[in-house]
Amino acid sequence: MAQTWNRYESLLLFDPDLGTEATEELVQRTRGFVTNEGGRLIKTDRWGVRATAFELKGRSKAYYLLLEFAGPIQAARELDRRLNLVDTVLKFQTIKLADRIDPDGLPDEEDLGLAEPAAGAAPAGEASAPEAPEGAAAETGAPAPEEKTDGDGGA
Amino acid sequence: MAHPYRRRSRRKVCRFCVNPELPLDYKHPEVLGQFLSERAKIIPSRISGNCAHHQRLLSVEIKRARNVALLPFTRLP
């Protein structure tokens, strides 16, 4: 194998005032950043607009997008570099989930929360519930020992 | 007999050891938030009863959640 592949997860915060089309366009552009560098998307989860814990660039809401992907380190590095250049990205964080994975053993791609507002609102509503350990645990599984590759970027 | 002024304390247990289903992950701010004080500081394991292993993981996840504005860095009581 020419390159070692790792598994990453990025949580991105977009400007909440973009509108549906512009946001979806930005989502697709972000997915392109990963795939153009030889990465493969595993999961795209649109959490939708939710309240942030503190003000970010004068806004108290943000559109949350969770991307899970696998690829060589260049894919993650390029994603971070490109996101820093987009000014509608408020913040992002990329985390390494697993080291040296086998690219052939990856699960199929998942695309969640697309278009319909009900699906987009579901994860946010669950997260704001005071106690939902069972359902929440089934959703993501056990946290893997991770290594952080890059801190907050777009600030 | 116990000292009349000494309060009987309940034995503290690590909630993540007791319930392995409880997600310890920055994407679950509702769980992590239970280990923050009123001022959004991380509650020491001395108080919360977490074991050392889970307290270490917890502090990392809380800091990650703060970076993406899922949890506050600070909060006024």
Integer CA distances (angstroms), A91 to A123, A132, B26, B35, B51, in order: 19, 27, 15, 24, 32
What does the pLDDT look like over A37-67, one tens digit per residue? Answer: 888 899 899 998 999 999 988 999 999 999 9
Q: Which of A126, A128, A146 to mutate to test the interface with B (most CBs of B within 10 A)?
A: A146
**Alpha-carbon distances of A38 from A4, A32, A77, A153, rounded to whole Å:** 12, 10, 12, 22
Q: Which residues, other chains included, contact A83 with Cβ-Cβ below 8 Å and sequence gap of 6+?
A: A12, A30, A33, A89, A92, A153, A154
Residue B4 lies in a domain: no
- Smallest Cβ distance to A129: which of B30, B68, B71? B30
pLDDT at residue number A18 = 87
Name the pairing type of β-strands A40-56 and A5-14: unpaired
A26 vs A62: CA distance, rounded Å: 14
In a domain, B43, yes or no: yes
Q: Which domain holds residue B51?
A: 15-67
Whole-structure pTM value: 0.74
Q: Which two tokens stand for residue A110?
A: 């998942």
| Residue B21 included in any domain | yes
Chain B residues whose CB is inside 8 A of the A95 CB are 64
Residue B77 lies in a domain: no
Q: Which residues of B touch A130 (CB under 8 A)?
A: 30
What are residue A111's DSSP bridge partners?
A: A44
Output the domain CATH number for residue B51.
4.10.640.10
Q: Phi/psi of residue B75, each to 5°? A: -155, 140
The B residues from 35 to 74 touching A (CB cutoff 8 Å) are: 57, 61, 64, 66-73
Is B10 within a domain?
no
Choose the closest CB to B22 out of A62, A95, A137. A137
Is the residue at B50 inside a domain?
yes
Average per-residue pLDDT for chain A:
76
Which residues in chain A have their CB less than 8 angstroms from residue B25's CB? Answer: 140, 143
Q: How far is A3 from A57, CA to CA, in rounded Å?
A: 38
Number of domains in chain B: 1
Q: Any idea which fold A5-150 has?
A: Alpha-Beta Plaits (3.30.70)
Is residue B21 within 8 angstroms of chain A, CB to CB? yes
- Give ipTM to 2 decimals: 0.78
